[in-house]
Structure 1
Amino acid sequence: MTVVFLSLGSNLGDKVAYLNQAIQSLSQVHETQLVKVSSFYRTAAWGKIDQDDFVNAVVQLETNLEAIDFLRECQQIEKDLDRVRHEHWGPRTIDIDILLYGEETFNTPDLKVPHPFMTERAFVLVPLAELTEDLVLPNTGKTVLEALAQLSHEDVTKI
């Protein structure tokens, strides 16, 4: 089984309901087991900031699926929850990003793991630290807590 960490976010509609629906769907992916779910956090939009706040969380799963197959499952869940991609970093009902896929690395047009912006986003590192603060992040040599200490995160509020 491969340990996988995902970041979930929503800033349209009933954000908490969309996160809960995504978590429920992830728990039903074949050959996959939901291990842990972080608290939910309210955060300001990142990248494209002229939009509603997000609700974010991180989940830990274990899977026997290959990374590309797991990505397709995540994309299907996004589609099932009415995710549309009108603009880069635009508003969305649900966003599911693969942060870490075991110790594997991928750099393809469809899949970049470790997630390239993970260490720049407090809304990812705060809930990730809740699940595994001592995990050493690939390509950095830093633990999640050490990476988080380099970011401002007072605007990441547990709900």
Structure 2
Amino acid sequence: MEKVFLGIGSNVGERILYIKNALNLLSQILTEIQTAHFYVSKAVGFEDQPDFINTAISGYTDLEPYELFKKVKDIENKVGRIKRFRWGPREIDIDILFYGSLIIEKDDLIIPHPRIHERDFVLKPLSDLDPDFVHPVLKKPVKELLLNLKEKSIISNLQLSTL
């Protein structure tokens, strides 16, 4: 079993419901899931769109990285993701952030996610889960990457009583 970290976001429609549905489906392929706080953040890349709700989860899997990637994409489709354009609006977006300390650089899969260190809406939830986790490429803990981040997109912490 390998520990993995996934980033989850939504900025279309019933954002919380999409995330809850994704978490439910992810619980079928991961064990010991822990969920970070939820954050509201401005869109990055293409900024003329609604704010995102973002979180991250950690869990364990016996799936190989490509199998996990395929399952994650299947879950996005089941939840209702509509393909639009790069960095466009998303009903649900699930990214593999880390797969243990594994490093994969292929055309169709890059782990760790290549822009983790640039995004507070990824680093802050990761820090909620495991601030001392060391990025296997950058060789720095998540909390240090967050501390050194210049640009911020998080607007607020979303207080939810239950998931």
TM-score bracket, normalised by the shorter chain, equals over 0.9
How far does residue 136 in structure 1 lie from its aligned partner after superposition?
Answer: 1.0
Q: How far is the alpha carbon of 1:35 from its aligned partner?
A: 2.3
Q: Structure 1 residue aligned with 2:43, among 42, 45, 63? A: 45
Superposition RMSD on alpha carbons, in Å?
1.2
Aligned to 1:102: 100
Give the corresponding residue for 1:8. Answer: 8
Q: TM-score, normalised by structure 2?
A: 0.92
Q: Which runs of 5+ in 1 are unaligned?
A: none
Q: Is the 8 A contact 2:121 2:153 kept in 1?
A: no
1:141 counterpart = 2:122:
no
Alignment partners' CA distance in 2, 1:84 and 1:17:
16
State how many pairs are aligned. 157
Q: How does 1:27-106 map to 2 (within 5 A)?
A: 27-29=27-29, 32-106=30-104
Write the letter of the residue equivalent to 1:158: N
Moved over 4 A (4+): none
State the Cα distance separating 1:156 from its structure 2 match: 4.1
Q: TM-score, normalised by structure 1?
A: 0.95
With 148-157 and 77-86 compared, the bigger mean Cα shift is at 148-157
Distance apart, 1:154 and its partner CA: 7.0
**Per the alignment, in what secondary structure is the counterpart of residue 80 of structure 1?**
helix
Secondary structure of 2:5's partner?
A: strand
Deviation of 1:82 after TM superposition, in Å, equals 1.4
1:128 pairs with one of 106, 126, 130: 126
Identity of aligned residues (%): 39
1:122-147 CA deviation, whole Å, 9 max, x = no partner?
A: 00000000000111111112111110
Q: 1: distance between equivalents of 2:153 and 2:119?
A: 12
